[in-house]
Structure 1
Amino acid sequence: MLKPIGGLPDGVIGFEATGRLEASDYEEILMPAVREVLEHGKEIRIVLVFERFEGMSPEAAWEDMKLGIEHLTRWKRIALVTDLDWMITVTSLFVWMTPGEFKRFPVAKRDEAIAWVAAADR
């Protein structure tokens, strides 16, 4: 399940994942937020928090891949906030495929992750 994170800086969207992700999480929560960002002519700046995670359905994995590819050039910054060892390992193997800038933060540095995603280009 994806839960939107409130109180983020302007131009930043964020979600906390718990349990298992399903295609409906993408269709009903994530994609509408991404579309809204794009409709305002902005690049996607996103914070994803995974404190506990039980995986994703094959349909959710498909939606994830489609979302990344469909807007390939619009991803600006992605912050992954997690302490899950397996997720850290998997993302380190596939970070080269991630569109935009990607950075992982430990859960204790969630605020730092949000600041990094929101920061203006230098």
Structure 2
Amino acid sequence: MYQALEGSHNMNHDDHGISINKVTYDENAYLSLKATGKLTHNDYEKFNPELDSALADAKDAKIKAVIDTTELEGFEPRAMWDDLKLGLKHRNEFEKVAIYGNKNWQKTAAKIGAWFVTGEVQYFENKNDAIDWLNK
């Protein structure tokens, strides 16, 4: 069962950006994020209010998130800085973050990102393993 957040957008093959949804798997609620293409500063300008809204809905609850990077091609330099600032801003709000992708550099980026989040962060090569880990 998927429930899209207001303001989320779908991207076609040529697009880039970050989408966010509230998702339920086996009665457990998560934030589901998908990064596509080469992310830009403008992508973060659009995404940050959506994430802020989703996290505000959770109030004091610790959030579990799954991030799909299978279509992520990279970051422009300013977008890398935006990603770091975003992690620092919300560093205490995540209990677990499962990232899945298909490129070695994504695994390295996930390890670096884990330094900036107080919750657990793990990288996986497929969605099922990521979801299973979140349910533990």
**Do the aligned partners of 1:34 and 1:44 also contact (CA within 8 Å) in 2?**
no
Contact map agreement 1:19 1:55 (CA 8 A) in 2: yes
Instruction: For residue 19 of structure 1, report the CA deviation from its aligned partner.
Output: 0.9
Q: 1:50 — aligned with what?
A: 69
Q: Which blocks of at least 5 consecutive residues in structure 1 are unaligned?
A: none
Contact persistence 2:64–2:94 (CA under 8 A):
yes
Q: Is the 8 A contact 1:83 1:106 kept in 2?
A: yes
Contact 1:8 1:14 in 2 (8 A): no
Moved >6 Å (runs of 4+): none
Q: Which structure shows the higher strand fraction?
A: 2
State the identity as a percent.
Answer: 24
| Corresponding residue pairs, total | 116
Give SS of 1:16's match: strand
Q: Which moved more, 1:55-64 or 1:8-17?
A: 8-17
Residue 76 (structure 2) pairs with residue 68 (structure 1): no
Greater fraction helix: 1
Gaps of 5+ in 2: 1-16
Match of 1:8 in 2: 24
Which residues of 2 match residues 1-122 of structure 1 at below 5 A? 1-4=17-20, 7-9=23-25, 11-41=29-59, 42-92=61-111, 94=112, 97-99=115-117, 100-107=119-126, 110-117=127-134, 119=135
**Cα pair 1:11 1:37 within 8 Å, conserved:** no
**How far, CA to CA, are the matches of 2:80 and 2:67 in structure 1?**
15
Q: Which has the higher contact order (CA 8 A, sep 6+)?
A: 1
Tell me how far 1:13 sits from its aligned partner: 0.9
CA distance in 2, matches of 1:48, 1:70: 18
TM-score (norm 1): 0.74
TM-score (norm 2): 0.68
Q: 1:37 to 1:80 in 2, by over 3 A?
A: same
- Relative distance call for 1:37 and 1:90 in structure 2 (3 A) is closer
Q: Please give the secondary structure, in 2, of the residue aligned with 1:79.
A: strand
Deviations 1:86-118 (A, max 9, x none): 2223434x26514110111112xx03313433x
Rate the CA distance shift 1:30–1:112 in 2: closer, same or farther, 3 A. Answer: farther
